Amino acid sequence: MSESRLKSFNYAIGMFGTSIPINMLKTYAAIYYVDTLGLTTIQFASILSIYTFIDALDNPVYGFLSDRTRTRWGRRRPWLVIGTLLLVLFFIGFYSPPVGMAAATLFGYCMLFYIMTGTLDSVINANYGALFPELFRTDASRAATNALRQAFQLVAMIISIALTPMVTSAIGYQMTAIIYGILGGVVILYMALTSREVAITEAEEKPHLWNSIKDLITNAKFWIAGFAGAFYSAAMSLVLVSMPFYVKYTLEIPESQATFLFAAVLLIAIGCVAVWAWLVRRYALIPVWRAALATLTVAFIPLFFANSLVTALVASALVGFGFAGAITTNDLIGAKIMDEDTRKHNVRREGIISNALGFMNRLNGLFTGAGFFLVAKLFDFESGLNPGPQPGNAARFLLTVFPPILMVLSLGFSFLINFKPAETAPASSMTD
């Protein structure tokens, strides 16, 4: 393996590690706490809202601290190592609540461990995302590396999303979380220890918090890309959360068969990532990005009309194709914004920008919470103990009505942004 390919592999595999724990958290937290343990939909929606508010306050700080960190091990590595160890502990704890908790205690426990797990994931992903534009300096190298890391992400999603219903049925949520947490943690640590950061000299200016925040607030492209990413992320978050409910209540088949629908989406996505990466190299990034969002927007229509596992599997294929395009292009848009910021202000602050974009994506908690609030009010779906008179329509709304509305908003924002042609990123000291 050549040095450049090894460099791409060492970095890209990190996405496998970061994806495993957080995808199990985001996908199965609701079905575990609401449908199994008896937490109400309103309580779960409240937890997601509180988490999003806290995330809004702490995300810029994490990125700022990372950008200003100067150690013999680099800027990002200490945060990745420490954050990973803590993430594994809180992730396992989330799926290991003590037996027989009172309702109020269960609510507090779920909130604490959900917030801490999500916060530590933010720390890790801010530093992981900041490494991307630092290590890879051209659109071509970024497209190739990003395609590889998204492939790793999709493999992780097959494990942590598609296979999880079968795994938890066999060994339970706690043991599954232990296996996933350790596996994800080991891979993240490998990435952190093998990806060489670009050297930072002491003389290089450190970013200032308030100046960075001011520049972000006045950066129109950040807000446009941020909201486009937020609505897309919210749509896909709802897909992950609602699929088990859709399988159980709408299709009325065993919950474990959600594995097949998740697998259909993810396997198609794995096969199509290379196609979208080729389109990025062959054509301009922006039109390919818009095409991916448009494809994903219309992909939910067939799924609305599905009435069996077979028809749902066929409908899921189009979702997988659009999903592959979105994950292939979204990170490239973020890297472009970081490049422009560095050129304009002559200060490297990939961490704070990566974290800020990451926070925008994590606004999905508000929309997911809103989705559960709406099904509680519109369909009287309270919990697994009291699913109301129309649980099938409630689950169909969560999976096939709310997400495409959000995707229309994401697509609309994508038409408000463009970039001047520039093959190479700033900072001549950095090499590909």
186-224 pLDDT, tens per residue?
A: 999 999 988 877 655 555 556 666 676 677 778 888 899
pTM: 0.70
pLDDT band at 424 (very low <50, low <70, confident <90, very high): very low
240-268 pLDDT, tens per residue?
A: 888 888 888 898 888 778 888 888 888 89
Q: Which pLDDT score is estimated for 425?
A: 45
Looking at domain 3-198+205-414, its CATH class is mainly alpha
Cα separation, 255 vs 57, whole angstroms: 37
Cβ atoms within 10 A of the Cβ of 93, count?
Answer: 17
The lowest-confidence range among 179-188, 232-241, 294-303, 381-390 is 381-390
Q: Which pLDDT score is estimated for 332?
A: 85
The lowest-confidence range among 10-19, 112-121, 289-298, 334-343 is 334-343
3-state helix, strand, coil split of the chain in percent (to 5) is 80, 0, 20
Q: Which pLDDT score is estimated for 205?
A: 57
Cα separation, 326 vs 187, whole angstroms: 24
281-304 pLDDT, tens per residue?
A: 888 889 999 999 999 999 999 989
> Left if phi > 0, otherwise alpha if psi is -120 to 50, otherwise beta: which for 104?
alpha
Q: Contact, 417 vs 286, CB < 8 A?
A: yes
φ and ψ of 403, to 5 deg = -60, -45
The lowest-confidence range among 220-224, 235-239, 254-258, 326-330 is 254-258
178's CB contacts (< 8 A; 6+ apart) are 92
∠ at Cα 63 (196, 410), nearest 5°? 105
pLDDT band at 350 (very low <50, low <70, confident <90, very high): low
Please name the residue ranges forming H helices in 69-163.
77-94, 103-135, 139-157
Three-class secondary structure of residue 282 per DSSP: helix
422 token code pair: 């520039």
Rounded mean pLDDT, 139-163: 84
Residue with tokens 């995302």, as numbered in its chain: 129
127 token code pair: 């530093």
Higher pLDDT, 53 or 269: 269
For residue 155, pLDDT over 50 is answered with: yes
Residue 355 to residues 19, 52, 60, 132, 351, Cα–Cα distance (Å): 16, 14, 6, 13, 6
All structural domains of the chain with their residue ranges: 3-198+205-414
Q: Which helix (H) or strand (E) holds 392?
A: helix 391-400
